[in-house]
Amino acid sequence: MGTLAHHRPTGTQQALVGPETLGSARFRADHGVRYAYAAGSMYKAVASEDLVVRMGRAGLLSFFGAGGLRPEQVVAAIGRFRRELGDGPYGVNLLASAENPAREEEQVDVLLRHRVRLVEAASFVLPTPSLVRYRLAGLRRDRDGSVHVPNRVMAKVSRPEVAQAFLAPAPRALVEHLLDRGRITADEAELAQYVPLADDLCAEADSGGHTDQRQLVIVLPDTVRQRDRAARGFPPAARVRVGAAGGLGDPHAVAAAFVLGADFVLTGSINQCTVECGTSDRVKDMLQTAEAHDMATVPAGDMLETGARAQVFRRGLFYPARANKLYELYRRYDSLEDLDPATAEQIQRRYFGRSFEEVWQETREYYAQANPASLELAERDPKHRMLLVFKAYFVHSIRSAMGGSERHLVDYQINCGPAMGALNGYLRGTGREDWRDRHVDDLAELLMRGAADLLSERFAAWAAPDAWRQP
């Protein structure tokens, strides 16, 4: 642990700030961790079992990338965490699935059945029945009269209306709905009014993956103010901690986040370029030389129809241009048959390496299992069929990157933000350029210690400017 070089204060001044005092003490106590720091989920176990176990053993929080995995894979991962980490610290990603609520239900069934006590909830636009069911399960009154909340929720937000929903109790209509169907008990329904939906709100700025590309200096103070306002009408909201994510790749950015008022920080992109991360060596080789400006924001494949955007690595890849092209075609045309022959030919040959018909056959088999309602719609509506075929390209591009396919190198979809470039810049010349020398807990140590040292140095200089005057 802590083997990476980090920023050290110059001179002989006393360190005023330590890594273990940055951020919220309640965050550290509630999650049982040494630092107010977390490594965020990355789909399909890119945030891998190894990553979670390594962080947990170091007394640090991380979230397993459960998105896109089959339930049995998630169950197996939880089993390993329980064996190797006991009760934690660790959490599992809970992804909203607006087009397939059954999938969300299934995720929550697994989490409750296997007593996972912390989730990182992401992509929620509004609270859903399954999210509320997770939050309310097991609510009870303790002897001292306080409400015991066994299931903790960290919600990732980048928009005020979503933050608002997580600072409030579960909507009454949803609580009634769950009670009527016997999904929660009368006690849980009654106590719901005293509990905000989240324990932690993570204000996400310009991050890798799905992003609204907001600026941290705006979105973080905004969310803190929103929390404080919410607490005036609903006092339990005062306890909801507000953290920062997006663009945190070096100690300077982490120090800035804490000065802006973050109760905790969460990183994503930088953890993708470590020994523990579950992507291919080829992707890690590319990322270890990435600069902050090597990123592009393109349509997000899994939400193509909504216009949502995701930030990806672009240097040397065709993927960003192809993602843009497919989105443009989806908007402009109503069916695959409407595409002009040259475009149709180009997409089939270059993007897919096979015909639309072949892609459709495979897609159909998948949706027959995964989402029959969507398949039914596609059989009736040619535009929806085109959407599902185009989405297959995005799935293929993730698989190619994760599998390290040499043949499909230019199609790699590598979700990543500028934080990666910041880390590489910071590590240049330290002997830690190679990802084989980067471990996820060491990065946490590097960022937190470095931030504490930077702040100590700055505060000392501001508190006693004369002592710092240059000769």
Ligand X SMILES: Cc1cc2nc3c(=O)[nH]c(=O)nc-3n(C[C@H](O)[C@H](O)[C@H](O)COP(=O)(O)O)c2cc1C
Pick one of 41, 151, 348, 456: the residue that binds ligand X (CB under 6 A). 41
Cβ at position 43, least distance to ligand X in Å: 3
Cβ at position 53, least distance to ligand X in Å: 18
Pick one of 27, 35, 43, 134: the residue that binds ligand X (CB under 6 A). 43
Q: How far apart are CA 27 and CA 66, in angstroms?
A: 23
**Which residue from 221, 229, 294 is spatially nearest to 259, judged by alpha carbons?**
221
Q: How far apart are CA 280 and CA 282, in angstroms?
A: 5
Q: How far apart are CA 35 and CA 142, in angstroms?
A: 28
Q: Tell which positions 150-189 bind ligand X, by CB under 6 A.
A: 156
Pick one of 35, 45, 64, 93: the residue that binds ligand X (CB under 6 A). 93
Q: Tell which positions 56-85 bind ligand X, by CB under 6 A.
A: 65, 67
Which region among 29-37, 75-83, 183-191, 411-419 touches ligand X (by CB under 6 A)?
411-419
351's CB contacts (< 8 A; 6+ apart) are: 322, 326, 393, 411
Pick one of 88, 129, 208, 243: the residue that binds ligand X (CB under 6 A). 208
Pick one of 97, 128, 130, 267: the residue that binds ligand X (CB under 6 A). 267
Which region among 37-45, 221-229, 337-345, 447-455 touches ligand X (by CB under 6 A)?
37-45
The answer to whether residues 90 and 63 touch, using CB atoms and an 8 Å cutoff, is yes
Neighbours of 116 (CB within 10 A): 24
Cβ at position 421, least distance to ligand X in Å: 10
Residue with tokens 């997000």: 300
Give, in order, the Cα–Cα distances in Å from 440 to each of 46, 254, 357: 12, 16, 43
Helix (H) / strand (E) element for 140: namely strand 140-141
Q: Is 122 in the site for ligand X (CB under 6 A)?
A: yes
Looking at beta carbons only, is 107 or 267 nearer to ligand X?
267
Cβ at position 247, least distance to ligand X in Å: 5
Looking at beta carbons only, is 128 or 456 nearer to ligand X?
128
Q: Is 416 in the site for ligand X (CB under 6 A)?
A: yes
Q: Give every strand in the sheet of 309-313, ordered side by side.
A: 209-210, 309-313, 295-299
Q: Is 245 in the site for ligand X (CB under 6 A)?
A: yes
Eight-state DSSP code of residue 389 = H
Query: x/- binding map, residues 339-378, to ligand X, per CB under 6 A?
Result: ----------------------------------------
Looking at beta carbons only, is 299 or 417 nearer to ligand X?
417
Residue with the closest Cβ to ligand X?
A: 268
Pick one of 248, 283, 304, 339: the residue that binds ligand X (CB under 6 A). 248
Q: How far apart are CA 115 and CA 454, in angstroms?
A: 40
Cβ at position 156, least distance to ligand X in Å: 6
How far from the centroid of its chain's Cα atoms is residue 107's Cα?
16
- With contacts defined by CB under 6 A, how many residues of the chain interact with ligand X? 29
Q: Is 269 in the site for ligand X (CB under 6 A)?
A: yes
The answer to whether residues 295 and 211 touch, using CB atoms and an 8 Å cutoff, is no
**Which residue from 268, 227, 266, 255 is spatially nearest to 22, judged by alpha carbons?**
255
Pick one of 188, 204, 263, 294: the residue that binds ligand X (CB under 6 A). 204
R_g of the chain, CA atoms, integer Å: 23
**Which residue from 309, 302, 217 is spatially nearest to 262, judged by alpha carbons?**
217
Cβ at position 464, least distance to ligand X in Å: 35
The answer to whether residues 344 and 390 touch, using CB atoms and an 8 Å cutoff, is no
Give, in order, the Cα–Cα distances in Å from 224 to each of 30, 259, 404: 20, 12, 41
Cβ at position 21, least distance to ligand X in Å: 23
| Sites of contact with ligand X (CB under 6 A) | 40-43, 46, 65, 67, 93, 95, 120, 122, 156, 204, 207-209, 245-248, 266-269, 272, 415-417, 419
